[in-house]
Chain A
Amino acid sequence: MFAGAYSRNLEGALMGRVHAASQTLGLCNDSGSIICPPQQQRSDGMAVNMPFNDTVAPVFEDYMEFFKIWQRWNMFAPNPMASFHFYVAEVREQNGEWRTFKTYHKSGLGLRDRWYKAQIIRDLPLYKQHNFGLHEYLMSLDCEEHSIAPNRDVRYRVIRNDVYYEQDDILSKKFWSDVMPERWHDSVMYEGVCPDPS
């Protein structure tokens, strides 16, 4: 769990929010309208950056979390954030086992992936145009990048480690070196099939 102001359950929450995000940003095309009624209502008396934090951020927080594109004033106080997570993309092999083909972990990302954030930002109009869900869209990119055949099963897992301030021996070298992979929580976030490019 995040320390301080933010506490959230990433499992499942992301999918629920994508629809709200689509509506808010006008990504839905059923009405043909650019603006869809936002589900999140603004609260009164918000200061300069509060409209973002209180209204847009709750809708997008998971999306922003995914691409590491958030900042907040109190990210280090009263305690620093203590939930670390990353995502892995996996494809089901012929024998039924899942093989990881992409890891969204900072230490494992190359230069190109470090720029993935910028790439996604550039590609978002495509996402808007095709009315994809976030994961469908990501999956289409990943399938294309890794030449995975259409209709192959693909899934995204979120892997998370929570640090518990009062229980963990945070200052020991052993705690951090042993933390992977035993302590990682693992859950499937999304499952689908690679789209047919045609």
Chain B
Amino acid sequence: MRFIRAIDGFFFRKISAQGFGLMRILWGGMIFWFLLLQWPDVTQLYSNEGFLTHEAFRHLVGDTSYWNVLDYVHSPLGVRLVYTALLISSFCTMVGISCRLSTIVTFVLYASITERGWLILLGGHAITKSAGLVLMIAPNLQAFSVDRAVRQWRMWKETRKLMAHPSMSIWIWRLHLLQIICIYVAAFWEKTLGLTWMNGSAAAIAMHNTIYSRWPEWLLNIITPYTPLLTGYTMIFEGAWMLLLIPSSWLKKISKGMLDWGIILRALVLSGFVFHLGIELSMDIGHFSITMLTSLAGLLLLRDFDAFRATFNRKWGEKKIHILYDDKCKLCRRTTFMLMMMDFLHRFDMVDFHHVGKRKKVDPHLKLEDLDKAMHIKMPDGKVHKGFKAMRVLTAHIPPLWPLYPLLHLPGISHAGHKTYEIVAHNRRRCTDEYCEI
């Protein structure tokens, strides 16, 4: 019985599905973006009127290529349609509309496109496909999706409560981890067979290559003497993934409690983000780096998201921003719900200002008629902001909206923002839960 419980725990223990949600977004977005860039050349690359007719392609590859959709679609129009379907499905995967279906369609069409393509225009095809396969069979893809947001909205509308974190069985995460370990350890092993990775000169050679280097010659020449550090970092980073093959309890025993499996994994994932972002910024090698970043995102667990939140909240602490909203106004309810959905840092406290007790507790001096004109927020230091300014302040506390924060401070934006806010606030009671008449 104990054995069965151990097996059950090993494969079916519940973990957060947020990492896979993030991986789904990055995977769909990456495919959408890179294939969009290829759009002008689609018929040249994949149709009968391009470089290689289907007949010629089959003649060349014989029976060795896998089944793919483009076996049946050869005309330029047909290929355009297939490609358009792929762009739509990858976009749906990214935003999370019909997650399972869109991921399967994206995988099948992406595999077809890469199978039929005779020019490898992007690097990292194989890893992108294997990440797609993992996503396709993952038990839960709903985290950070439109599908889930719609269900959350319905629930919140009825009960003013949100659903619990999405979870899934751990087996798919373990499979994904094993795959990533194989990639890095195989790369490490092959590099140990070469002279340049062992004597420290590999990074200098790779970065100077005129084919894919992004940096100018003079800059490369300056950093050349320091590149053994990069070579060493690469070898240590890739080789360290072998540590994850050691069971957690053994690792603790061997290191006498100094090494923790979970901390090693988090350190490797973070190092991986640095490693692949560095490659992406210094070399043009297709979407290899982005696909590896995507795969690493799938390894993030709830504790990693909590750690991320704790890092950003280290100075902020447990303080809350009180957002006073109008629960009788449907637009305000929707806005409030969206803010709650984006409150990854857990900094917001939503207060219905019609609830006198709660309102007085936040600030006894706030008047109902003022609150009725614009959304008010009260900061932990006691400052009160309202309307457009309140929205602008909130963007600083919502990670997905951080890129907007500096834009909202550009000259002229404030004036336009106040005007727009006034118009929307004035007409807000015309809104239903589904749409607004402005």
Contact = CB atoms under 8 A, between A and B. Distances in A.
B211 A68 contact: yes
A147 interface: no
Q: How large is the interface on B (under 10, 10 to 19, 20 to 34, 35 or more residues)?
A: 35 or more
Nearest to B192: A78
A26 B125 contact: no
Interface stretch (A48-56, A88-96, A133-141, A188-196): A48-56
Interface string A1-35: 00110000000000000000000111000000011
A124 B119 CA distance: 13
B52 to A, nearest CB: 6
A106 B213 contact: yes
A68 B209 CA distance: 12
B216 A107 contact: yes
B3 interface: no
B366 interface: no
A51 B224 contact: no
Nearest to A67: B119
B196 interface: yes
A176 B40 CA distance: 38
A80 B122 CA distance: 19
Interface in A63-118: 64, 68-71, 73-82, 84-86, 105-107, 118
A149 interface: no
Given A79-B194, A79-B195, A173 B210 contact: no
A42 interface: yes
A74 B120 CA distance: 14
Contacts of A176: 204, 208, 217, 220-221, 224
Contact of A35 (B56, B118, B206): B56
Contacts of B205: 79-82, 163, 170
Contacts, number: 156
Given A69-B119, A71-B286, A82-B205, A42 B211 contact: no
B222 A51 contact: no
B194 A77 contact: yes
A46 B204 CA distance: 34
Interface in A162-184: 163, 165-166, 170-173, 175-177
B40 to A, nearest CB: 7
A165 B198 CA distance: 11
Interface stretch (B62-70, B350-358, B368-376, B382-390): B62-70
A20 B248 CA distance: 56
A128 B53 CA distance: 13
Nearest to B189: A77
Interface string B266-293: 0000000000000000000110100000
Interface string B309-350: 000000000000000000000000000000000000000000
B152 interface: no
Question: How extensive is the interface on chain A, given as a class?
Answer: 35 or more
A86 B197 contact: no
Main secondary structure of the interface of B (DSSP, over half): helix
Interface class of chain A by DSSP: loop
Interface in B39-56: 40-41, 44-45, 49-53, 55-56
A52 B118 contact: yes
Given A42-B60, A122-B44, A49 B125 contact: yes
A125 interface: yes
B126 interface: yes
Nearest to A79: B194
Nearest to A27: B51
Nearest to A80: B206
23 contacts: A3-B196, A34-B53, A35-B55, A35-B56, A38-B60, A46-B64, A51-B64, A52-B118, A60-B118, A64-B119, A75-B285, A76-B202, A77-B190, A78-B193, A81-B206, A81-B209, A86-B210, A105-B210, A121-B119, A122-B41, A163-B205, A165-B195, A171-B227
Given A35-B59, A68-B211, 6 more contacts: A26-B52, A35-B56, A38-B60, A76-B202, A81-B209, A165-B201
Interface of A: 3-4, 24-26, 34-35, 38, 42, 46, 48-52, 55-56, 60, 64, 68-71, 73-82, 84-86, 105-107, 118, 121-122, 124-125, 128, 163, 165-166, 170-173, 175-177
